[in-house]
Amino acid sequence: MKEINKVVNKIIENVKSKGDAAVRYYTKEFDKIGLNSFLVTKQEVKEAYKQVNKETIKALKFAKKNIEFFAKQQLKQLRNFEVRKNGAVLGQRIIPIEKIGIYIPGGNYPLPSTALMCIIPARLAGVKEIIACSPKIKPETIVAADIAGADKIFKIGGVQAIAAMAYGTKQIPRVDKIVGPGNVY
């Protein structure tokens, strides 16, 4: 585990100090992809829709409706409140986070469900800007992130993507919170 921490810390420090150049380097090193621009363009989103079969798109839209229904029920349970005890004011205020980053793992099997399950509740909760990062991004993942309502989708992954979202680079905005599944890295 110490060796993993050492590698991760080095990547984070390089992304903090070198920004996009470090993200580009590690994307080439780990994912074997050379990128100048990390952003998935509108044209790439259109192409992704052409590559995903209509039944899958229909299923993603159906899942979106179900996730929205459930998330709306969750939101109804949250409320602001204030109480006073022994001269102290205690309470809770529900305030949406400004910007979040969603990490969607790549690998051999696309995980469009991660896009749906992370982006939709955030959007309904009032998050103003939602970005998604995924390595070797599959068309299904692009379509799911688009259907769910991501503002921007980036084709990067790994520690370099998490570090870029945490600290910001010229291409990747800094976010206030990062969500999504991961592994030891």
The predicted-structure confidence for 113-148, as pLDDT tens digits, reads as follows 999 999 999 999 999 999 999 998 999 999 999 999
Q: Report pLDDT for 136.
A: 87
d(CA 86, CA 96): 30
Helix (H) or strand (E) holding 83: strand 81-85
Q: What is the pLDDT of residue 155?
A: 96
Which parts of the chain have pLDDT scores under 50? Answer: none
Distance CA 148, CA 60 (A): 9
| Residue 107 confidence (pLDDT) | 77
For residue 110, the model assigns a pLDDT of 78
> Domains in the chain, ordered, with CATH?
2-179 (3.40.50.1980)
pLDDT at 105: 92
pLDDT in tens, 92-109: 999 999 999 999 998 778
Residue 16 sits at φ, ψ, to 5 deg, of -60, -40
pTM above 0.85, yes or no: yes
Q: What pLDDT does 149 receive?
A: 98
Query: In this predicted structure, what is the pLDDT of residue 183?
Result: 79
The predicted pLDDT at position 184 comes to 75
Q: Distance (Å, rounded) from C-alpha 126 to C-alpha 42?
A: 24
